[in-house]
């Protein structure tokens, strides 16, 4: 017998999904995820309440690091490695370095944001046991799917089934790894 991975419910309307997710959150569940064919207003605040400041802080730190790195590369090249006196200008000519510094800062910030977003969302996810569930087949077309993972400390199969049934789940199934 394979190990239980979670419980999945399929809903016909986004309202039913939102109400079921809200009741799960109020009941103390934390490890659950919704899969919908289009964004559902307010669902993100139910699933992950509060502000997530990790990605903006990562990008801010990358901007500071990128600007310092971009400036240092130009300073090292012009003033330390190959000092060339052109027109009597100083070797550390910061106004001339600003464009390159800004461009390098943007490059590092965007790269950090991109890879941070991939890491935060767990992408690319090439396989998950949920992909085998019959309910998940129509999640990207016309159904709304809610999955409570076994990793949740309050995981109780009967309590989760009751919540799903109260909110009119069309299909409830167990996902096995």
Q: What is the pLDDT of residues 106-147, one digit of tens each?
A: 999 999 999 999 998 888 888 888 888 888 888 889 999 999
Confidence of residue 1 (pLDDT cuts 50, 70, 90): low
161's tokens: 């089934």
CA–CA separation, 93 vs 108, rounded Å? Answer: 23
Residue 28's pLDDT is 92
Region 66-88: mean pLDDT is 91
CATH placement of domain 4-50+123-176: 3.30.70
H helices of the chain, in order, are 14-26, 43-47, 54-75, 94-121, 157-166
What is the predicted pLDDT for the residue at 140?
A: 87
Of 87, 69, 88, 66, give the one whose Cα is nearest residue 77: 69
What pLDDT score does 12 carry?
93
Where in the chain do CATH 3.30.70 domains reside?
Answer: 4-50+123-176
CA 86 to CA 106: how far, in whole Å?
A: 29
Question: What mean pLDDT is predicted for residues 33-54?
Answer: 92
pLDDT for 93: 83
Residue 15 confidence (pLDDT) above 80: yes
CB 83 within 8 A of CB 91: yes
């Amino acid at each position: 017998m394979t190990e239980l991975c979670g419980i999945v419910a399929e809903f016909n309307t986004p309202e039913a999904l939102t109400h079921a997710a809200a009741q799960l959150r109020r009941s103390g569940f934390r490890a659950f995820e919704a899969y919908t064919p289009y964004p559902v207003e307010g669902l993100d605040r139910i699933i992950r309440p509060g502000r997530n400041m990790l990605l903006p802080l990562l990008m801010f730190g990358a901007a500071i690091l990128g600007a310092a790195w971009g400036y240092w590369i130009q300073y090292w090249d012009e003033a330390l490695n190959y000092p060339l006196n052109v027109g009597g200008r100083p070797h550390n000519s910061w106004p001339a370095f600003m464009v390159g510094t800004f461009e390098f800062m943007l490059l590092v910030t965007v790269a950090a944001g991109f890879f941070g977003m991939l890491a935060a969302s767990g992408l690319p996810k090439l396989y998950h046991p949920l992909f085998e569930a019959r309910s998940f087949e129509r999640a990207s077309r016309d159904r709304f799917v809610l999955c409570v993972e076994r990793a949740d400390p309050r995981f109780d199969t009967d309590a989760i089934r009751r919540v799903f049934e109260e909110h009119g789940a069309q299909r409830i199934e167990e996902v096995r790894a």
